[in-house]
Amino acid sequence: MGMNHYAHIDPCPTCHRSTTEIHLGKSSGGWRFCIEVQKEYYTNWTEFLKFIEQDNVTIKDEENKERSVREFVSLMYTQGDDERQIDGFQDGPADFVDRHFT
């Protein structure tokens, strides 16, 4: 079973809801973290880090738990690295896949 992670852009300071939610990727036991390429925002590890480090981006998992950038990146480095996504490419501690998935 895996956990999806999302970027919430410009969340409301009062209710914490966002009108823009971007699927960042998924962590699954035994697999490398899989990042969904979002061409408007990032296509590789360096661009991905710049995107999630922006002050107007909040990272949450599918259970709505907020994660710091440090915690989120640490999760990627601790994911299993034995199995790769077969249709993606590796960059940094994750695989990037240029298609929608959940």
Sheet (strand 20-28) strand order: 66-67, 57-61, 2-9, 20-28, 33-36, 94-97, 89-91
Q: What is the pLDDT of residues 8-50, one digit of tens each?
A: 998 788 887 888 999 999 988 777 888 999 999 999 999 999 9
The answer on pLDDT for 84 being more than 60 is no
In the chain, domain spans: 2-97
The answer on pLDDT for 87 being more than 70 is no
Q: What's this model's pTM, rounded to 2 decimal places? A: 0.85
**Amino acid identity of 1?**
M
Distance, CA of 39 to CA of 51 (rounded, Å): 12
